[in-house]
Amino acid sequence: MRTRLLALGAAAGIAALAAGCGSSGSSTAAPAAPATPTTQVVTGMSGEKATVPLKVDRIAEQFPAHTVTDIMLGAGDRLVAIPQNVKTLPFLRTVFPRINDLPELFRNGGKVNMEELLKLKPDLVSTSSGGDTLTPFRQAGIPAVNTAYNTFAELVPSIELSGKMYGGTAPAKAKAYADYVNAKLKLVRSRLANLPADQAPSVVHIASYPPLVVDGGTSLIDAWIKLGGGTDSASGVKGTHVTVTLEQLLRWNPDVLVVETPGGDQGLAANTAQSVISAFEKAPGWKSLKAVQTNRVYLNPQGLYPWDRFGPEEALQIQWIAKTLHPDLFKDLDIRAETRSFYQKFFDYQVTDADLDQILQVGTK
Protein backbone atom coordinates (compact mmCIF):
# COMPACT_ATOMS: atom_id res chain seq x y z
CA MET A 1 0.00 0.00 0.00
CA ARG A 2 2.86 2.31 0.92
CA THR A 3 4.51 1.62 -2.43
CA ARG A 4 1.28 2.50 -4.29
CA LEU A 5 0.98 5.82 -2.43
CA LEU A 6 4.56 6.74 -3.29
CA ALA A 7 3.89 6.02 -6.97
CA LEU A 8 0.76 8.17 -6.96
CA GLY A 9 2.66 11.01 -5.31
CA ALA A 10 5.41 10.83 -7.90
CA ALA A 11 2.85 10.96 -10.72
CA ALA A 12 1.17 13.98 -9.19
CA GLY A 13 4.55 15.73 -8.90
CA ILE A 14 5.34 15.08 -12.56
CA ALA A 15 1.91 16.41 -13.60
CA ALA A 16 2.43 19.54 -11.51
CA LEU A 17 5.86 20.08 -13.03
CA ALA A 18 4.43 19.70 -16.53
CA ALA A 19 1.71 22.22 -15.77
CA GLY A 20 4.28 24.67 -14.49
CA CYS A 21 6.34 24.33 -17.65
CA GLY A 22 3.24 24.95 -19.79
CA SER A 23 2.67 28.36 -18.18
CA SER A 24 6.26 29.51 -18.46
CA GLY A 25 5.75 31.93 -21.37
CA SER A 26 7.24 29.68 -24.03
CA SER A 27 3.79 28.89 -25.48
CA THR A 28 3.71 27.57 -29.05
CA ALA A 29 0.09 28.63 -29.67
CA ALA A 30 -0.48 30.28 -33.12
CA PRO A 31 -0.70 34.11 -33.04
CA ALA A 32 -4.08 35.69 -33.68
CA ALA A 33 -4.75 36.50 -37.35
CA PRO A 34 -4.57 40.24 -38.18
CA ALA A 35 -7.90 41.97 -38.57
CA THR A 36 -9.17 42.20 -42.14
CA PRO A 37 -8.85 45.84 -43.31
CA THR A 38 -12.11 47.65 -43.94
CA THR A 39 -10.70 50.92 -45.32
CA GLN A 40 -8.08 52.15 -47.76
CA VAL A 41 -6.28 55.45 -48.24
CA VAL A 42 -6.61 57.12 -51.64
CA THR A 43 -5.31 60.37 -53.08
CA GLY A 44 -7.85 62.65 -54.77
CA MET A 45 -7.24 64.52 -58.02
CA SER A 46 -6.16 67.65 -56.16
CA GLY A 47 -3.71 65.79 -53.92
CA GLU A 48 -5.68 65.39 -50.68
CA LYS A 49 -5.54 61.97 -49.05
CA ALA A 50 -8.72 60.36 -47.77
CA THR A 51 -9.62 57.19 -45.91
CA VAL A 52 -12.54 55.50 -47.64
CA PRO A 53 -14.35 52.20 -47.04
CA LEU A 54 -13.12 49.20 -49.01
CA LYS A 55 -16.77 48.40 -49.62
CA VAL A 56 -18.52 51.41 -51.13
CA ASP A 57 -22.24 50.70 -51.49
CA ARG A 58 -23.70 54.22 -51.44
CA ILE A 59 -22.25 57.02 -53.57
CA ALA A 60 -23.26 60.69 -53.50
CA GLU A 61 -22.13 62.43 -56.70
CA GLN A 62 -21.35 66.14 -56.68
CA PHE A 63 -19.35 66.24 -59.95
CA PRO A 64 -21.91 66.22 -62.82
CA ALA A 65 -19.82 64.60 -65.57
CA HIS A 66 -18.56 61.95 -63.16
CA THR A 67 -22.05 60.51 -62.98
CA VAL A 68 -21.29 58.96 -66.38
CA THR A 69 -18.05 57.47 -65.02
CA ASP A 70 -20.03 55.92 -62.16
CA ILE A 71 -22.35 54.26 -64.65
CA MET A 72 -19.51 53.11 -66.92
CA LEU A 73 -17.68 51.47 -64.01
CA GLY A 74 -20.79 49.53 -62.98
CA ALA A 75 -21.48 51.67 -59.91
CA GLY A 76 -24.60 53.41 -61.20
CA ASP A 77 -26.84 51.29 -58.98
CA ARG A 78 -24.90 52.54 -55.96
CA LEU A 79 -25.74 56.19 -56.57
CA VAL A 80 -27.96 57.73 -53.90
CA ALA A 81 -27.69 61.41 -54.89
CA ILE A 82 -26.76 63.31 -58.06
CA PRO A 83 -26.21 66.92 -59.17
CA GLN A 84 -28.95 69.15 -60.49
CA ASN A 85 -29.58 69.12 -64.27
CA VAL A 86 -27.86 65.80 -65.02
CA LYS A 87 -31.18 64.09 -65.63
CA THR A 88 -32.05 66.70 -68.29
CA LEU A 89 -29.73 64.83 -70.70
CA PRO A 90 -31.99 62.68 -72.93
CA PHE A 91 -29.55 59.91 -73.87
CA LEU A 92 -28.47 59.47 -70.25
CA ARG A 93 -32.09 58.86 -69.30
CA THR A 94 -32.36 56.31 -72.10
CA VAL A 95 -29.25 54.32 -71.19
CA PHE A 96 -29.69 54.56 -67.42
CA PRO A 97 -33.39 55.04 -66.59
CA ARG A 98 -32.71 54.85 -62.84
CA ILE A 99 -31.30 58.39 -63.07
CA ASN A 100 -34.89 59.66 -63.12
CA ASP A 101 -35.51 58.35 -59.59
CA LEU A 102 -32.42 59.77 -57.91
CA PRO A 103 -32.63 62.95 -55.79
CA GLU A 104 -30.84 65.96 -57.26
CA LEU A 105 -29.26 66.87 -53.95
CA PHE A 106 -26.34 68.91 -55.27
CA ARG A 107 -27.38 72.28 -56.63
CA ASN A 108 -25.51 74.52 -59.07
CA GLY A 109 -22.05 75.18 -57.72
CA GLY A 110 -22.11 71.94 -55.73
CA LYS A 111 -24.15 73.29 -52.81
CA VAL A 112 -25.89 70.63 -50.75
CA ASN A 113 -28.30 70.37 -47.84
CA MET A 114 -26.10 68.43 -45.43
CA GLU A 115 -29.03 67.31 -43.30
CA GLU A 116 -30.68 65.66 -46.31
CA LEU A 117 -27.37 64.14 -47.42
CA LEU A 118 -26.78 62.55 -44.02
CA LYS A 119 -30.20 60.89 -44.20
CA LEU A 120 -28.99 59.01 -47.29
CA LYS A 121 -25.99 57.60 -45.38
CA PRO A 122 -23.47 57.73 -48.24
CA ASP A 123 -20.23 55.79 -47.91
CA LEU A 124 -18.48 58.29 -50.17
CA VAL A 125 -18.97 61.70 -51.76
CA SER A 126 -17.34 62.20 -55.17
CA THR A 127 -16.63 65.94 -55.25
CA SER A 128 -16.18 68.48 -58.03
CA SER A 129 -13.08 70.07 -56.49
CA GLY A 130 -10.70 69.74 -53.57
CA GLY A 131 -9.60 72.02 -50.77
CA ASP A 132 -12.42 73.70 -48.87
CA THR A 133 -15.02 71.78 -50.88
CA LEU A 134 -14.09 68.65 -48.93
CA THR A 135 -14.33 70.23 -45.48
CA PRO A 136 -18.12 70.15 -44.83
CA PHE A 137 -18.34 66.47 -45.77
CA ARG A 138 -15.38 65.48 -43.64
CA GLN A 139 -16.71 67.49 -40.70
CA ALA A 140 -19.94 65.54 -41.05
CA GLY A 141 -17.99 62.26 -40.99
CA ILE A 142 -18.48 61.41 -44.68
CA PRO A 143 -15.42 60.39 -46.71
CA ALA A 144 -15.02 62.83 -49.61
CA VAL A 145 -12.67 62.53 -52.59
CA ASN A 146 -12.13 64.98 -55.43
CA THR A 147 -12.58 63.15 -58.74
CA ALA A 148 -12.65 66.26 -60.96
CA TYR A 149 -9.90 67.29 -63.35
CA ASN A 150 -8.98 70.14 -65.69
CA THR A 151 -6.62 68.62 -68.26
CA PHE A 152 -6.82 65.77 -70.74
CA ALA A 153 -3.85 64.08 -69.06
CA GLU A 154 -5.94 63.73 -65.88
CA LEU A 155 -8.87 61.98 -67.58
CA VAL A 156 -7.58 58.42 -67.18
CA PRO A 157 -6.15 58.91 -63.65
CA SER A 158 -9.55 60.19 -62.50
CA ILE A 159 -11.31 57.12 -63.86
CA GLU A 160 -8.66 54.79 -62.44
CA LEU A 161 -9.04 56.47 -59.03
CA SER A 162 -12.78 55.80 -59.16
CA GLY A 163 -12.20 52.19 -60.14
CA LYS A 164 -9.91 51.72 -57.16
CA MET A 165 -12.48 53.20 -54.77
CA TYR A 166 -15.46 51.26 -56.13
CA GLY A 167 -13.73 47.87 -56.22
CA GLY A 168 -15.21 44.68 -57.67
CA THR A 169 -15.08 44.79 -61.47
CA ALA A 170 -14.57 48.57 -61.54
CA PRO A 171 -10.73 48.52 -61.67
CA ALA A 172 -10.77 46.17 -64.67
CA LYS A 173 -13.32 48.37 -66.44
CA ALA A 174 -11.18 51.44 -65.73
CA LYS A 175 -8.15 49.64 -67.18
CA ALA A 176 -10.07 48.68 -70.34
CA TYR A 177 -11.12 52.30 -70.78
CA ALA A 178 -7.55 53.54 -70.26
CA ASP A 179 -6.31 51.13 -72.93
CA TYR A 180 -8.97 52.38 -75.34
CA VAL A 181 -8.19 56.07 -74.77
CA ASN A 182 -4.45 55.53 -75.15
CA ALA A 183 -4.95 53.63 -78.39
CA LYS A 184 -7.13 56.39 -79.84
CA LEU A 185 -4.68 59.07 -78.70
CA LYS A 186 -1.88 57.21 -80.44
CA LEU A 187 -3.93 57.00 -83.65
CA VAL A 188 -4.86 60.68 -83.69
CA ARG A 189 -1.37 61.85 -82.84
CA SER A 190 0.27 59.66 -85.46
CA ARG A 191 -2.04 60.94 -88.20
CA LEU A 192 -1.41 64.57 -87.25
CA ALA A 193 2.29 64.28 -86.41
CA ASN A 194 3.47 65.95 -89.62
CA LEU A 195 0.69 68.51 -89.93
CA PRO A 196 2.14 71.91 -90.95
CA ALA A 197 1.27 74.71 -88.54
CA ASP A 198 -0.48 76.68 -91.28
CA GLN A 199 -2.90 73.79 -91.82
CA ALA A 200 -4.17 73.79 -88.24
CA PRO A 201 -7.47 75.72 -88.45
CA SER A 202 -8.30 78.26 -85.77
CA VAL A 203 -11.19 77.18 -83.55
CA VAL A 204 -13.50 78.80 -81.00
CA HIS A 205 -15.63 76.61 -78.77
CA ILE A 206 -18.95 78.19 -77.81
CA ALA A 207 -20.64 76.96 -74.65
CA SER A 208 -23.81 79.04 -74.91
CA TYR A 209 -25.48 82.18 -76.25
CA PRO A 210 -26.79 84.61 -75.10
CA PRO A 211 -24.62 85.77 -73.46
CA LEU A 212 -21.64 84.59 -75.50
CA VAL A 213 -19.82 82.04 -73.33
CA VAL A 214 -16.63 80.38 -74.60
CA ASP A 215 -13.92 78.05 -73.33
CA GLY A 216 -10.25 78.81 -73.67
CA GLY A 217 -6.71 78.14 -72.57
CA THR A 218 -5.61 75.97 -69.63
CA SER A 219 -8.76 73.89 -70.07
CA LEU A 220 -9.78 70.47 -71.27
CA ILE A 221 -11.44 72.13 -74.27
CA ASP A 222 -8.20 73.84 -75.28
CA ALA A 223 -6.48 70.44 -75.03
CA TRP A 224 -8.81 68.54 -77.37
CA ILE A 225 -8.78 71.37 -79.92
CA LYS A 226 -5.00 71.05 -80.11
CA LEU A 227 -5.04 67.26 -80.01
CA GLY A 228 -7.43 67.33 -82.98
CA GLY A 229 -5.06 69.43 -85.06
CA GLY A 230 -6.50 72.89 -84.45
CA THR A 231 -5.36 76.12 -82.84
CA ASP A 232 -7.43 77.63 -80.07
CA SER A 233 -8.30 81.24 -80.89
CA ALA A 234 -9.49 81.70 -77.32
CA SER A 235 -6.27 80.39 -75.77
CA GLY A 236 -5.82 83.73 -74.03
CA VAL A 237 -9.10 83.26 -72.17
CA LYS A 238 -8.53 81.56 -68.86
CA GLY A 239 -10.54 78.42 -68.24
CA THR A 240 -14.08 77.35 -69.02
CA HIS A 241 -17.42 79.14 -69.24
CA VAL A 242 -15.97 82.61 -69.77
CA THR A 243 -18.29 85.35 -71.00
CA VAL A 244 -16.86 87.45 -73.85
CA THR A 245 -18.24 90.10 -76.17
CA LEU A 246 -19.36 89.52 -79.72
CA GLU A 247 -16.71 92.05 -80.74
CA GLN A 248 -14.05 89.76 -79.30
CA LEU A 249 -15.32 86.84 -81.37
CA LEU A 250 -15.31 89.03 -84.48
CA ARG A 251 -11.69 89.94 -83.78
CA TRP A 252 -10.75 86.28 -83.43
CA ASN A 253 -12.74 85.47 -86.60
CA PRO A 254 -11.94 81.75 -86.39
CA ASP A 255 -11.90 79.25 -89.25
CA VAL A 256 -14.16 76.91 -87.24
CA LEU A 257 -16.90 77.31 -84.64
CA VAL A 258 -17.80 74.35 -82.43
CA VAL A 259 -21.07 74.81 -80.55
CA GLU A 260 -22.20 72.61 -77.69
CA THR A 261 -25.63 71.95 -76.25
CA PRO A 262 -25.90 73.84 -72.94
CA GLY A 263 -26.90 71.64 -70.06
CA GLY A 264 -25.48 69.20 -67.55
CA ASP A 265 -23.63 71.47 -65.16
CA GLN A 266 -24.76 74.85 -66.50
CA GLY A 267 -28.33 75.02 -65.28
CA LEU A 268 -29.46 75.36 -68.91
CA ALA A 269 -31.59 73.01 -70.93
CA ALA A 270 -31.43 73.97 -74.60
CA ASN A 271 -32.71 71.12 -76.73
CA THR A 272 -29.74 71.12 -79.08
CA ALA A 273 -26.65 73.04 -80.09
CA GLN A 274 -28.68 74.16 -83.10
CA SER A 275 -30.96 76.11 -80.77
CA VAL A 276 -27.89 78.09 -79.67
CA ILE A 277 -26.96 78.79 -83.28
CA SER A 278 -30.53 79.82 -84.10
CA ALA A 279 -30.32 82.51 -81.41
CA PHE A 280 -26.80 83.48 -82.48
CA GLU A 281 -27.81 83.95 -86.11
CA LYS A 282 -29.74 87.07 -85.08
CA ALA A 283 -26.61 88.71 -83.62
CA PRO A 284 -24.99 91.53 -85.59
CA GLY A 285 -21.82 90.35 -87.32
CA TRP A 286 -22.76 86.66 -87.36
CA LYS A 287 -22.83 86.45 -91.14
CA SER A 288 -19.43 88.12 -91.44
CA LEU A 289 -17.64 85.39 -89.48
CA LYS A 290 -15.28 83.31 -91.61
CA ALA A 291 -16.58 80.04 -90.11
CA VAL A 292 -20.14 80.99 -91.08
CA GLN A 293 -19.19 82.05 -94.60
CA THR A 294 -17.28 78.80 -95.24
CA ASN A 295 -19.95 76.62 -93.62
CA ARG A 296 -17.63 75.40 -90.86
CA VAL A 297 -19.95 75.72 -87.88
CA TYR A 298 -20.30 72.35 -86.16
CA LEU A 299 -22.62 70.99 -83.49
CA ASN A 300 -20.64 69.20 -80.81
CA PRO A 301 -22.04 65.73 -80.07
CA GLN A 302 -23.82 65.06 -76.81
CA GLY A 303 -24.38 61.56 -75.48
CA LEU A 304 -24.67 60.62 -71.84
CA TYR A 305 -22.96 63.97 -71.30
CA PRO A 306 -21.60 66.59 -73.70
CA TRP A 307 -18.63 64.85 -75.35
CA ASP A 308 -16.50 67.96 -74.95
CA ARG A 309 -16.65 68.11 -71.13
CA PHE A 310 -14.99 66.03 -68.43
CA GLY A 311 -16.51 62.59 -68.97
CA PRO A 312 -15.53 59.24 -70.50
CA GLU A 313 -16.93 60.35 -73.87
CA GLU A 314 -13.81 62.52 -74.27
CA ALA A 315 -12.43 59.38 -75.93
CA LEU A 316 -14.94 59.94 -78.73
CA GLN A 317 -14.48 63.72 -78.73
CA ILE A 318 -10.81 63.58 -79.75
CA GLN A 319 -11.72 61.35 -82.69
CA TRP A 320 -14.68 63.49 -83.74
CA ILE A 321 -12.75 66.77 -83.67
CA ALA A 322 -9.79 65.27 -85.55
CA LYS A 323 -12.08 64.02 -88.32
CA THR A 324 -14.06 67.29 -88.31
CA LEU A 325 -10.95 69.44 -88.72
CA HIS A 326 -9.02 67.07 -91.01
CA PRO A 327 -11.43 64.80 -92.87
CA ASP A 328 -8.84 63.85 -95.50
CA LEU A 329 -6.53 62.42 -92.85
CA PHE A 330 -9.29 60.38 -91.21
CA LYS A 331 -11.24 59.05 -94.18
CA ASP A 332 -11.33 55.56 -92.66
CA LEU A 333 -12.73 56.76 -89.34
CA ASP A 334 -16.47 56.12 -89.24
CA ILE A 335 -17.71 58.15 -86.28
CA ARG A 336 -21.12 56.50 -86.28
CA ALA A 337 -19.60 53.03 -86.16
CA GLU A 338 -17.06 54.07 -83.52
CA THR A 339 -19.81 55.62 -81.40
CA ARG A 340 -21.93 52.50 -81.66
CA SER A 341 -18.99 50.30 -80.63
CA PHE A 342 -18.03 52.59 -77.72
CA TYR A 343 -21.42 52.49 -76.01
CA GLN A 344 -21.71 48.75 -76.52
CA LYS A 345 -18.26 48.11 -75.05
CA PHE A 346 -18.35 50.47 -72.08
CA PHE A 347 -22.07 50.79 -71.27
CA ASP A 348 -23.46 47.53 -72.61
CA TYR A 349 -25.95 49.54 -74.64
CA GLN A 350 -26.87 48.84 -78.26
CA VAL A 351 -27.15 52.24 -79.95
CA THR A 352 -29.89 52.64 -82.54
CA ASP A 353 -29.72 54.80 -85.65
CA ALA A 354 -32.12 57.22 -83.96
CA ASP A 355 -29.81 57.37 -80.95
CA LEU A 356 -26.87 58.16 -83.23
CA ASP A 357 -28.78 60.94 -84.95
CA GLN A 358 -29.59 62.41 -81.54
CA ILE A 359 -26.01 62.11 -80.23
CA LEU A 360 -24.41 63.52 -83.37
CA GLN A 361 -27.22 66.08 -83.70
CA VAL A 362 -28.05 65.11 -87.26
CA GLY A 363 -30.92 67.14 -88.66
CA THR A 364 -31.64 68.82 -85.31
CA LYS A 365 -33.31 72.20 -84.98
Task: Give me the CATH topology for the region 39-175.
Answer: Rossmann fold (3.40.50)
* Average of per-residue pLDDT across 318-335: 97
Residue pair 236/252 in contact (Cβ under 8 Å)? The answer is: no
Model confidence at 7, pLDDT cuts 50, 70, 90, reads: very low
- Helix, strand, coil content of the chain in percent (nearest 5): 45, 15, 40
The fourth-level CATH superfamily of domain 196-360 is Nitrogenase molybdenum iron protein domain (3.40.50.1980)
pLDDT of 192 above 70: yes
Topology alike, domains 39-175 and 196-360: yes
What sign results for the dihedral spanned by CA atoms 115, 118, 120, 126?
positive
> Among 209-218, 270-279, 322-331, 344-353, which is the least confidently predicted range?
270-279
Residue 57's alpha-carbon distances to 50, 87, 121, 167, 182, in angstroms, are: 17, 21, 10, 10, 30
Query: What's the confidence (pLDDT) of residue 282?
Result: 86
* Average of per-residue pLDDT across 59-86: 96
Domain residue limits, the chain: 39-175, 196-360
Query: What's the confidence (pLDDT) of residue 284?
Result: 86
Query: What's the confidence (pLDDT) of residue 272?
Result: 66
pLDDT of 264 above 50: no
The DSSP annotation for 49-115 comes to: EEEEESS---EEE-STTHHHHHHHTT-GGGEEEEETTGGG-HHHHHH-GGGGGS-EEE-GGG-B-HH
